[in-house]
Amino acid sequence: MVEITLAAMALAAAQTMATAGLEEVTKDLYGGLKRTLKDRFRIGAAVEALEEAPQDADTQDFVAKKLETSGALSDAEVLQALDALKAALLALPERATPQTAILIEAIRAHTFTFTNVHATGGASIVVKGVEVTGALHMENVTARG
């Protein structure tokens, strides 16, 4: 479920950033993924709900469930597009990304637990470069506008 929620959060971040006039590649990647989710998996309404409230945790959960039940996260093309989108978002210059309240970066661990972490006021929680060889547990993590 963590990967599903992260996928929904990546879609939310991409939509927010793509419409903020950022790099064309981000817009193109998001647009292509959105079309695939709408046309092939028939979850366009969920994606549109996410566009209207990208920081809303309930909407992200709704999209996560739609991604799972539609089979989109079992599709190689969708997974590849999500990976490309996440990579493009991480490659954006710091000035282009929303305010980051919490940054967890470059951690290697056997077990990683991340619980009860909250960012507010439009800030984000960024986790990148984390390598976990054993158990990864994320629970009750929110970033709200």
Q: Which of 74, 94, 114 is the last residue of a domain?
A: 94
pLDDT band at 98 (very low <50, low <70, confident <90, very high): low
**Does the predicted model carry a pTM greater than 0.85?**
no
Could you list the residue range(s) of the whole structural domain that residue 114 is in? 98-145
- Cβ atoms 101, 79 nearer than 8 A: no
Pair (65, 136) in one structural domain: no
- pLDDT tens profile 43-96: 989 888 888 887 777 887 888 888 889 998 889 998 888 888 878 777 766 544
- Cβ atoms 37, 50 nearer than 8 A: no
Q: What is the pLDDT of residue 88?
A: 78
Pair (85, 111) in one structural domain: no
pLDDT band at 2 (very low <50, low <70, confident <90, very high): very low
H or E stretch including 132?
Answer: strand 124-132
